[in-house]
Structure 1
């Protein structure tokens, strides 16, 4: 038994000072240290997402190939990577072999389990600009860009600007008309999976975010944050053309279309053009109502 113990000690002889993770091989340890450096020198030419390791970029590139050769027999969902496919199959097995000793939460995937364990270590990386804390150095580095004020990616459709190319690329899907993610509850379609996931909370009935001022409850934290601006009277977003102020940047962006003279939404019934999707939606409803009379 002593021999086994000594062998185990040798296997984990490299310990990361940042997060405490241990490694048996120096090459693995050195590779891991890059995750705390924040340096991501390998960028995807398709979406701009950046990676620390070239192998990770190569693995990611399969997403853009369109090839999904692994299909789940249970639900029909398809995957680019065998590891993702295998991990997904566990969701149907009901088996959760990884249990957190701290809180008892169970996981069927070891990587998710390991990420969860960090939440109990107390290790946090703090942003010097706003004081926000992150569990990973890479997350802090990504967040820090929000304080730079530089948004070099601008959408030609709605003029919304982005700091990260990956966010910009994902946003473009909203204008493509392609909506491959469908809600099983109501049939609503979404261009992005995260949009569908956020929408599903509406059907869950869970509203864990409550306004301290008026008691209104929300499914999403960002909806609560936006709502709280009403009570604060804060309108940080000002139009350079007319000086009108708005609580939300998206409202300013839509308002800016008035000054730009852009009317990209056209009614197929009467040919009238509108600046925003909201305006065209309201108008089309009226047109259809009149035509049915």
Structure 2
């Protein structure tokens, strides 16, 4: 089939205008579809509909081996590889195998150096979209969303809604494996990797995998030399705040 629609950011081609419109959002970071229950934002309507099952509890896709239910068919297919041991995606450079195509594609960029997610403000490129979204906050200090309880300000309604749960104690996102509740869906997704053992956040410098984006950001400081946490008593710098707190005990 002919693919006349070409992405101006990365050159990828598509058969239909709707496909390229959805794809462009991976570069721009635009998320026009919002969940009314929690404020989570999505690039596609179908992703929002799937997400809403977290709130309704609906899990229409069931594993015939263990009976575990899933909110989407793709999650069921990935899960079934736990039973079969299949890793259908193999890196031709280093031979590493992956159960998911998305993780395989991210890994390949370590070898190619490709950084398809570009900041429109400064031109800096990133391997993963979450890195771009995190970086873009550097360019704005505006925080228009205010908490009525403590007056703390946030850059997005999603951040405000998540923060307000610290006051209400609400934990609407529950792990189907162990029952633990979370204030954010992203925290739930990160937690679920404890059960699967997957490390989806990959360092572009050395290929090390991390369970969370925050762990990856901390690890990347090993390569950059950045030490943002400084002791006021002696001026020594540290990669993470916990290391600074331990060091400060030496001065007491």
**Cα deviation, residue 97, structure 1:** 1.1
| Higher relative contact order, chain-length normalized (CA < 8 Å, sep 6+) | 2
Residue number in structure 1 paired with 2:37: 46
- Determine if contact 2:4/2:14 at 8 Å carries over to the other structure: yes
Residue number in structure 2 paired with 1:60: 51
Residue number in structure 1 paired with 2:108: 117
Residue number in structure 1 paired with 2:188: 193
The residue correspondences of 1:199-210 to structure 2 (distance < 5 A) are: none
- Determine if contact 1:12/1:22 at 8 Å carries over to the other structure: yes
SS at match of 1:151: coil
SS at match of 1:117: helix
- Determine if contact 1:36/1:136 at 8 Å carries over to the other structure: no
Residue number in structure 2 paired with 1:145: 137
**Cα deviation, residue 79, structure 1:** 1.9
Structure 1 residues 170 and 88, CA, compared in 2 at 3 Å: closer, same or farther?
farther
Provide Cα deviations, 1:169-206, integer angstroms capped at 9, x if missing partner: 3444555265855998xx9x553425646988xxxxxx
Residue number in structure 1 paired with 2:95: 104
**Cα deviation, residue 131, structure 1:** 8.2
Partners in 2 of 1:155 and 1:78 — Cα distance? 36
Structure 1 residues 155 and 190, CA, compared in 2 at 3 Å: closer, same or farther?
farther
Structure 1 residues 56 and 89, CA, compared in 2 at 3 Å: closer, same or farther?
same
SS at match of 2:229: helix
**Cα deviation, residue 101, structure 1:** 1.9
- Determine if contact 2:50/2:71 at 8 Å carries over to the other structure: no
Partners in 1 of 2:26 and 2:164 — Cα distance? 29
- Unmatched segments (≥5 aa) in structure 2: 196-213, 246-252
Question: Given the two structures, how large is their TM-score scaled by the length of structure 2?
Answer: 0.58
- Specify the structure having the higher radius of gyration (Cα): 1
